[in-house]
Homo-oligomer: A and B are copies of this chain.
């Protein structure tokens, strides 16, 4: 969910942006291991291989690092999600792809997932900001697809699209949280199918 570090291939000089990304990667690792509040800026710096002060050349403060992790990852994720569904016609298939991408992305990067599921949730300050920015964008994508599905007669029209998008997100979110807290090391992405199956058809026998 975060771009890989890129090193210049025409010289051994590290690209400017790479130092910032190195700090971001380091922060994801450190925050996921010790928690945001227990992580020291100097831990992040050491992990990134830079001096403490250098962190402040790229980030306003410790909070800003956490913000950047979120913004950066969401940006990439939303971009990818949009690309993935733009060539699909079936709204149901679109939701299935989004669900899969959601679990795939976080399932690929446990550290990032921990930061997303735990560290970002521990403060109303963060929560409030996030729930009105990139996160709102994400929910909105789901919602629009749902509305499209209602218009095409695929989804029930008695349901509120906003609530439905939250139900789907909540279910996926819970899968991720359980996954990172689990002692077992099962693959996360396949759970998308089950979630989608329940979301689409419900649990009742027919």
Could you tell me which A residues sit within 8 Å of B by CB distance?
35-37, 92, 114, 118-119, 121-125, 127-128, 131, 146, 149, 153-157, 159-160, 163-164, 166-167, 169-175, 177-178, 181, 191, 194-195, 197-205
Contact B164 A203 (CB under 8 A): yes
Candidates B124, B159, B191; contact of A35 at CB < 8 Å = B124
Listed residue (A123, A125, A170) with the most chain B CB atoms within 10 angstroms of its CB: A170
Known: A127-B118, A200-B204. A167 touches B171 (CB 8 A): yes
- Checking B121, B128, B174 against A169 with a beta-carbon cut-off of 8 angstroms, the contacting residue is B174
Task: Pick the 7 closest A-B CB pairs, nearest first.
Answer: A122-B122, A170-B174, A202-B202, A121-B121, A201-B202, A167-B171, A170-B170
B156–A205 touching, CB < 8 Å: yes
Q: How far is the CA of A205 from the CA of B181 in the complex (A)?
A: 35
Contact A114 B118 (CB under 8 A): no
* A164–B203 alpha-carbon span in the complex (Å): 8
Interface SS of A by simple majority? helix
* A204 / chain B contacts, CB cutoff of 8 Å: 92, 154-156, 200-201
Partner among B37, B171, B195 whose Cβ is within 8 Å of the Cβ of A123: B37
Contact of A170 among B119, B121, B131, B172 (CB under 8 A): B172
How far apart sit A146 and B186, CA to CA, in the bound complex (Å)? 23
Q: With contacts A157-B205, A167-B175, A173-B174 known, what are 9 further pairs, Cβ within 8 A? A: A37-B123, A114-B124, A119-B122, A122-B122, A167-B171, A167-B199, A169-B174, A170-B172, A170-B175
**Bound Cα distance A173, B119 (Å):** 17
Chain B residues with CB below 8 A from A125, complex form: 35
